[in-house]
Structure 1
Amino acid sequence: MDDKMTPGAGHNVARVEDPKGPLAPKASFGSDVVAETLRDLDVPYIALNPGASYRGLHDSIVNYLGNTKPQMLLCLHEEHAVHIAQGWAKVTEKAMAAAVHSNVGLMHASMAIFNAWCDRMPVLIMGATGYLDAARRRPWIEWIHTSRDQASMIRNYVKWDDQPGSPTAAREAIVRARWIAETTPKGPVYVNLDVGLQEDPLAKDLPPMDVKRYGPPVVLGPSEDLVAQAKKLIEGAKKPVIFYGRGSRAQAAWDNRVALAERLGAPVITDLKSSAVFPTEHPLHAGCAHMQAEKHIAALVREADLILAFDAVDIGGFLLSCVEGGAPTGKIVNVSMDHRIHNGWSMDHQVLPPADLFVSADTDLTVAALVKALGSAKKEVWSKDVRPKRDLALRGANEQPLVRDLALALRKALGKREVSLLHTTIAWHESWWPIDHPLAYFGGAGGGGLAAGPGIAVGSALALRGSGRFPVAVLGDGDFLMGATVLWTAVHYRIPLLIVVSNNSSFYNDELHQERVAHTRTRPPENKWIGQKMIDPDIDLAQIAKGQGATGIGPVRTIAELEAALPGAIAAVEAGGVALIDVRVVPGYA
């Protein structure tokens, strides 16, 4: 990727909160050391909802660092802070910081932390607590905002945590935390600072620390023997299939994935839960893994004599949806390092998949090694039915949009712009929207938690500033409403973003579950909507957007109204604004 297209590189948000007066000339308190360490690590932003437990750190960022590197991003909920950092990581593959206030803020943020954990995204979470020395606590408030072993609330879904006891230990903890967060398998980390550490004056200056020497890159490529074994299986296969799961945003890694598929003539399966890893318009792209495998993909898997899986999320569950019992007759090569962070609390490790050869190594490095080992000769694809043809025409202008119509109309209106699709609903299908670049799509929430989409969209759009790419997110109405106030942060910091809400006025996924239960129990399925529909009163999503300074359009009820609304919303975003279109869609999934 050339520098122009490098996301997050020096493209700061609007300076709307510059401090006045002279800055502190040197580090004088423990929190100054913490802020200084974040600066030395090149952490660009710290998303936060303020709280007294980290008032010392807050002061240090403002009055010692001048609110720059990291620059504060004020959020209206702790979940938003962590989700913005998750969205940033999806684009940059780097950790930005998020601060959460004591135990109460951590509890607010816990769902977002779980999303980042399941998404394997690095986030540096700064926490705080009241004085560990009980004799120093203010009455009432500092007692209820102090917890013993505060990190125990989230320890099962962070990679590492610490509660350092001195400024020297805090500096080391933050450096270690960022290093661990950004080492594959990546994930969130938590550093908890008590008030005393932050607010007590330094007894003496700390010696300088070159932080770059304490976070060495961890490169875990495949061994020559494992590459040789994989090569032998590949050369003996006549009907190989590739499943690309998680992969980096690097253009070279993208090119290698394409090259490997072309060397093998292998149909490629990808996953909408993960970011863009392979061009969906390539003749070898068969489609994406969904909750239930589509017939043509299941047929490819059953017929394959070799399946190459590269850090595929839930490869075992995918195989179960394709093959009864989940064990295909073909050999399976599974390349992943995800097993290194599986634990006994969270079941995000999924079904245990079969594997005839397991390669515990970085997937990008393994693909590159296989491309090198196999040479340049390309094979013809062995299957004539890689993917079915689909009707991609919009329906009639006066029809109420399906989610499919929403996608097709939106992509048509965006034309030849280089677009990044930041988030989608679970109703999405890959055939509606071409993914043609490592920055074209950024996957799902990770842990399936609602309220994630809006914050992730804002964080991803922040990282894309200055990249030349147009940021757009398609969100469900339930997801949007749970995270709606993150729009204020995007507007306040001038982060351009288009959000299109696929609004069926319901928690529709649960309507389907109630329908299944009713059929199973021979009860009235027509009652499925009760406790699900968001009606009476109808919620004005456009007004929610306008109330936070964004452009709000809708409700849009026909395809013609949608096509008429899109140009104005796109223009508002290209002028540097935030726009939302409320599209009332027919309930249903792809």
Structure 2
Amino acid sequence: MGKSDRRRFLKGVAAVAGGATVAIPKGTSAQTFRPANGTTALPSAAMQSREREQPAEVERLTTEKTGSDFMVDVCKTLNLDYIAACPGSTFRGLQESFINYGANKHPEWLTCLHEEVSVGMAHGYAKVAGKPMAAIMHGTVGTQHAAMAIYNAYCDRVPIILFTGNAGPLNERRPGVEWFHSVQDGAATVRDFVKWDDYPKSLQHFAESTVRGYALACAEPSGPVFLVADSKLQEDPLAEREARKLRIPRLTMPSQAAGDPNALREAAKMMVAADHPVIIADRYARSQAAMDNLVELAELLHAPVIDNRSRMNMPNTHYLCQSERAGTLIGQADCILSLEPVDLFGQLNSMRDQIERTDMPRTKADAKVISISTHDLFVHSNYQDFQRYVGADLNIAADAQTTLPFLIEAVQREMSASGRNAGEMRGEKLRQAYHDAIDRARTEATFAWDARPISTARLYMELWGQLQKEDWALVSDGDFSSRWPHRLWPLDKHYRFIGGPGGYGVGYQPVAALGAALAHRDAGGRVVINVEGDGEFNMAPHTLWTAAHHRIPYLTIIQNNRAYHQEAMHIQRMANRHNRGVRSAALGTSIDNPNIDYAKIATGYGALGIGPIEDPSDLAEAFRKGIAAVKTGQPVLIDVITQPR
């Protein structure tokens, strides 16, 4: 309809209406439309100008498929069961796609209340499940929150798949907060302590980098990988024509590097020829088969094993597990085999913490040292987790777990060729030393049996009394409990113990225990035990909410000495060094006045809270009640007031 036709039409409408009032468009002067002598006024110049303008652009609010849907398709091709996150807008597209398009399955979305929990949970999960879990962080601030947990996993050489969101192009960023949470280089904050990172610029790039990242994370030495998911890539519509061009690479898992056969033959000769061989296992075993191989090698050589407990390496029920005699055995050894040492220098030397620090060898001058490790394959410059350098007589750069079966074959061939076998007399002496150490530990555990605060030995023995008929797993370290679980409990299977904490960042224990408990739940419902200090728990008490929300059952026992006791001892040492006495060491290290009611905190987060327990005679009933609740699917916390260690 032309302009003149439209005017005639409007005149006709006015006439039919019998002079009725015409609706006046909002914002237009009423004078323009006032009828005069029964006719309608001509349009004003402003109205004519608006008629010539293009109609306003309608904001697009919906689309059938986005880039984040394809990202979910990529993740579903990987062996990822879970992705953990504290919510954040930089990955809103991905989150929506995971839970709706991806049906919240493989991976399932887990809600955490802090990014350090998300990443630490993935850390503990991987150590039990033997495969990565994913975590996602909110831009710059989420990555900074998560940095401590990422560093722990890096130091512990644990595979994790890490994502973060980022609003890349500046013209795509909403004013204000989105700028604060965006960055040019998303991995810059953590690059020194991840294995690999990338910022994909296209969906095809994302697919290839994510599959590559999964494989790299799992290749020994394993570690966290970090991928930036650009917000525009997540949220832009994905047309069917474009989608048909995208390809997801097939995941090919790398085989792990085994030691050079010539080097293994030389190692076998050295071990078989030794009169006092010793094996030190550190970050070695990732499976039950690896534990079994270590037992086989130790029995072939009648060699004692010192388990440094970075992993569950050697069953302490075997007489050749002689960890408590480490100093004596290393001093006597003429040949030492170290498997995946975290700190080879520290194994072979001792250092005195004094004003002028001095070190001295723990080994004999002519002792031969063999190292099988991936340590030299993954060293970064800035963070000093690589420890002090020491040269082994034979340094085999390979994955020790993969290499050990080949070393066993080499030892068997060498024994056959030389006609030499490890002395039975040495074996008998080791048996006697093993039983003497057990008797000594049991005797020492009776000291302060009825004391208040409760002794840590009493805590572990009362716990064992309730636990011994269960299929159980310990997901905490025992170093801050005088190593009582390793001295008193039978750690006979690989899943019994999770290993050490990696970077020793305070707060590792509650978050790693949560992830480990999730893996154990999926593996068949073992009773999971987590004994942690009050200082550790206070770093992440909100793990209990995630446990309650997602029905992850485990028993947390607070070894509550109402202090950061490790730091209190350091202050005492400094005060002694400065001749100032030790009475004020509690200032800045104690957690009292007021005392914290951890059972109430647990109840508030939806877990069962028990305690505080101050009388040692009440321990058995508290542990019985706690284990029974865990077996029904509840997370439980028991607060026990204990002596410092």
Length-normalised TM-score, structure 2: 0.83
1:225-272 deviation digits (Å, cap 9, x = unpaired) = 011111111121110000011233322221110000011111110113
> For residues 450 and 27 of structure 1, what CA distance do their matches in structure 2 show?
45
State the number of aligned residues. Answer: 553
Q: 1:189 aligns with which of 192, 213, 225?
A: 225
1:332–1:356: 8 Å Cα contact kept in structure 2?
yes
Q: Which moved more, 1:515-524 or 1:401-410?
A: 401-410
Correspondent of 2:360 among 300, 324, 347: 324
Number of the residue aligned with 1:462: 518
Inter-partner Cα distance in structure 1 for 2:66 and 2:422: 62
Query: Runs of 5+ in structure 2 lacking a partner?
Result: 1-62, 352-358, 416-420
* Deviation for aligned residue 1:116: 0.4
| Residue pair 1:241, 1:300 contacting (<8 A) in 2 also | yes
Residue type matched to 1:245 in 2? D
Is this contact kept in 2: 1:27–1:33, CA < 8 A? Answer: no
Give the structure 2 partner of residue 153 of structure 1. Answer: 189
Structure 2 residue identity aligned to 1:482: M
Q: Give how far 1:200 is off.
A: 0.9
For 2:531, the aligned partner's letter is V
Query: Conserved in 2, the CA contact under 8 Å of 1:506 and 1:532?
Result: yes
Cα displacement (A) at 1:206: 4.1
Match of 2:269 in 1: 232
Q: 1:138 & 1:113 partners in 2: Cα distance?
A: 29
Report the CA distance shift for 1:398/1:246 in structure 2 as closer, same or farther (over 3 A): closer
Aligned AA (1:390): R
Is this contact kept in 1: 2:204–2:247, CA < 8 A? no
> Is 1:358 aligned with 2:395?
yes
Number of the residue aligned with 2:177: 141
Match of residue 416 from structure 1? 469
Query: Are 2:306 and 2:323, in contact at CA under 8 Å, matched by a contact in 1?
Result: yes
Shift of 1:138: 0.6
- Alignment-derived partner of residue 338 in structure 2: 309
RMSD: 1.8
Could you tell me whether the CA contact under 8 Å between 1:270 and 1:277 is conserved in 2?
yes
Alignment of 1:327-346 (within 5 A): 328-329=364-365, 330-346=367-383
Q: Which moved more, 1:29-38 or 1:69-78?
A: 29-38
CA shift for structure 1 position 397: 4.4
1:269 matched residue in structure 2: 306
**353 and 433 in structure 1: CA distance in 2 versus 1, 3 angstrom threshold:** farther
Per-residue deviation, 1:481: 1.0
Residue in 2 aligned with 1:58?
95
Question: Distance between the aligned counterparts of 1:398 and 1:447, measured in 2?
Answer: 33
Whichever structure has more helix as a proportion of its residues is: 2
Following the alignment from structure 1 to structure 2, what is the Cα–Cα distance between the partners of residues 447 and 269? 21
1:60 and 1:446 mapped to 2: Cα distance? 34
Tell me the equivalent position of 2:568.
511
Amino acid at match of 2:393: D
**2:493 alignment partner in structure 1:** 437
Partners of 1:148 and 1:119 in 2: how far apart? 29
Alignment of 1:563-582 (within 5 A): 563-582=620-639
Whichever of the two has the greater Rg, that structure is: 2
Aligned-partner SS, 2:323: strand
Correspondences of 1:178-577 after superposition (within 5 Å)? 178-203=214-239, 204-207=242-245, 209=247, 211=249, 213-272=250-309, 274-287=310-323, 296-321=325-350, 324-325=360-361, 328-329=364-365, 330-375=367-412, 379-380=423-424, 381=426, 383-384=429-430, 385=433, 388=437, 389-392=439-442, 393-394=445-446, 395-397=448-450, 399-428=452-481, 429=483, 430-465=486-521, 466-577=523-634
Deviation at 1:93, TM superposition (A): 2.0
1:11 matched residue in structure 2: none
Q: Give unmatched runs, 5+ long, in structure 1.
A: 1-25, 289-295
Which deviates more from structure 2 when the two are superposed, residues 420-429 or residues 315-324? 315-324
Q: Secondary structure, in 3 states, of the residue corresponding to 1:359?
A: strand
CA offset digits 1:292-327 (Å, max 9, x no partner): xxxx42121111000000002212112212982466
Structure 1 residues 346 and 444: CA distance shift in structure 2, 3 A:
same
Q: How far apart, CA to CA, are the structure 1 residues paired with 2:151 and 2:138?
A: 17
Structure 2 residue identity aligned to 1:173: S
SS at match of 2:495: coil
Q: Higher relative CO (CA 8 A, sep ≥ 6), structure 1 or 2?
A: 1
Q: Which residue is equivalent to 1:101?
A: 138
After superposition, what is the alpha-carbon deviation per residue over 1:111-130, rounded to whole angstroms, capped at 9, x for unaligned? 00000000111010011112
- Tell me, in whole angstroms, the C-alpha distance in 2 between the residues paired with 1:256 and 1:216: 23
Provide closer, same or farther for how the CA distance between residues 567 and 165 of structure 1 changes in structure 2, counting only shifts above 3 A. same
Q: Distance in 2 between matches of 1:576 and 1:501?
A: 20
Alpha-carbon shift at residue 216 of structure 1 (Å) = 3.0
CA displacement 1:569-590 (0-9 Å, x = unmatched) = 00000111111111110113xx
> 1:4: which partner in 2?
none
Instruction: Tell me the SS of whatever aligns to 2:146.
Output: helix
How many angstroms apart in 2 are the aligned matches of 1:55 and 1:468? 33
Give 1:374 shift: 2.3
* Cα deviations by residue, 1:74-128 (Å, 9 ceiling, x for unpaired): 0000000001100110112211100000000000000000000001110100111
Q: Which amino acid aligns with 1:400?
A: P
Structure 1 runs (4+) deviating above 6 angstroms are none
Q: Which amino acid aligns with 1:540?
A: D
Greater mean deviation of Cα atoms: 216-225 or 493-502: 216-225
Task: Measure how far apart 1:564 and its partner are.
Answer: 2.1
CA–CA distance in 2 between the matches of 1:332 and 1:396? 42
Aligned to 2:207: 171
Displacement, 1:208? 6.3
CA distance 1:379–1:29, shift in 2 (3 Å): farther
Shift in Å at residue 418 of structure 1? Answer: 2.1
User: Contact 1:28 / 1:202 at 8 angstroms: preserved in 2?
Assistant: yes
Select between 219-228 and 375-384 the one with higher mean Cα deviation: 375-384
Q: 1:398–1:560: 8 Å Cα contact kept in structure 2?
A: no
Distance 1:398 1:327, change over 3 A: closer
